[in-house]
Amino acid sequence: MSDYLAAIDQGTTGTRCILFDLAGVPAATAYREHRQIYPQPGWVEHDPLEIWARTQEVIAQAVAAAPAGRVLAAGITNQRETVIAWDARTGTPVYNAIVWQDTRTEPDCRALVAAGWEEEVRARTGLPISTYFSATKIRWLLTHVPEAAALAAAGHLRLGTVDAWLIWNLTGGLRGGAHVTDPTNASRTLLCDLATLAWDPALLERFGVPAAALPRIAPSSSAEPYGHTRPDGPFGAAVPVCGDLGDQQAALVGQACLAPGEAKNTYGTGSFLLQHVGGVPAPSAHGLLSTAAYALDGRGRVERAYALEGSIAITGAAVQWLRDNLGLIGSAAETEALARAVPDAGGVYFVPAFSGLFAPYWDMRARGAIVGLTRYVTKAHLVRATLEAICFQSREVLDAMAADSGQPVGVLKVDGGATANDFLMQLQADILGVPVVRPAVRETTALGAAYVAGLAVGAYASTADLRRLWRAERTFEPAWDVDRREAALREWRKAVARARDWLD
């Protein structure tokens, strides 16, 4: 009989459950996609009931596929900033989940900035006012969904990011489910004081959010479980649910970036570069976010850590756009051979600002642009330009990170689906000018969720155990010289300027 740690990884496009052994090696995995709902231009929604159904399915499938054993604990990791509102009496969502990519609240954000709120909000939360974060999505629900406002007035509304929805359902739902989130998710809402990692009464009042509807903020790794799964649930046993991390912070833990200066980049629908900065928040003057990295319950003392983050809205989603909207490729895997077929992008630069630009610009008005097109350009050039866009956006974030933290990143650990593309990883090293290291276990987001659950139940004595378990699979060394690297960056920035001034 083996002992396992379960990680439920609820992402933007699907849900995965992985059972890890205590050495951090996957023993079984299952994955299911869910629908992407686009009611209007700029609106992005998910069905919360579909997400919960898919979560139950993948848990049951992973448990059935694993060699006989015992699940010691479960950890959650999730798409952050996405908001769900539901009726505590029925468990029924009052509206679809409003996804982090959604831009419907852009006019509201502009009005808040014009009213002079930006400085106060950033000082309290470490975040700019943006459609990206949860507060204006919650405000939209309370304003535009009559049932939400009525439930809030009656004290029956529950609000939360996706982790809170899953924990509530996993731990009993209508039969006593725990309404809980952790600091990494709470710190992405514009409602949490970053210094105290508690809901901020002044911000709740400013955004009109009822405190009673929000989840309790508990440690990311909690010695006292948030709750237990029911024996008649998908695990088939009473499993303590005691780990919770937003997806990017989970990857930071899974990559064992546990000391100041260490950094990772996760390549998914977007890309998210995080650098550990220590036990106090680090304000940014260069367009980054200051965010909670984790809060670990050491049985009497909670260890807090913070990070600087560069959030890039569209990276992997740009490859999906080539596939689904333009039909240029049949699968993401085809991009490597196509990009290798040409020596460069043929003078083309692609800025995939489909949801505006996130770090380091935070420009909600920017729109996607392809510049430099000539009759010479082929499908292969466009594909290569798309991969270069992923790398250039990461380079701009890395430069901002070094300026803010005073600690240039000497090695970048990478994870996520796109890291399977060797050409992309080499290109990333070339454009950054630092080694890029791919881990042996690439599902580091899920691994981080398993690790914090394992810490909570004593499967690991400390984070030092996690560092010892981490292993590299391959290191990509930069091959471009400085002149080539900087010349390419200058041309990229010209393209970004075009994407930002398209209305001028």
Q: How does pLDDT run across 382-417, given as a tens digit for each residue?
A: 999 999 999 999 999 999 999 988 888 899 999 988
Q: What integer pLDDT is reported at residue 1 of this predicted model?
A: 65
Strands (E), 263-407: 263-267, 271-278, 289-297, 302-312, 349-351, 369-371
Assign 20 to helix, strand or coil.
strand
Give the ranges where 191-276 is alpha helix by DSSP (H): 201-207, 247-254
At residue 299, the pLDDT reads: 64
Question: For the chain, what is the mean pLDDT?
Answer: 93
Q: What is the pLDDT of residues 315-360, one digit of tens each?
A: 988 999 999 999 999 998 999 999 999 999 999 999 999 878 888 9
Taking CA atoms, 501 is separated from 166, 285, 449, in Å, by 41, 23, 41
- Per-residue pLDDT reduced to its tens digit, 476-489: 999 999 999 999 99
Q: What is the mean pLDDT of residues 199-221?
A: 95
Work out the average pLDDT over 279-305.
Answer: 87
Confidence of residue 502 (pLDDT cuts 50, 70, 90): confident
pLDDT band at 49 (very low <50, low <70, confident <90, very high): very high
- At 473 the pLDDT is 95
Instruction: Kindly report the pTM of this predicted structure.
Output: 0.88
Closest CA to 267 of 344, 332, 220, 329: 332
Cis peptide before 283 (omega within 30 of 0): no
CA distance 358 to 103: 12
In this prediction, residue 457 carries a pLDDT of: 94
- Residue 503 is predicted with a pLDDT of 65
Q: Which residue has the higher pLDDT, 2 or 228?
A: 228
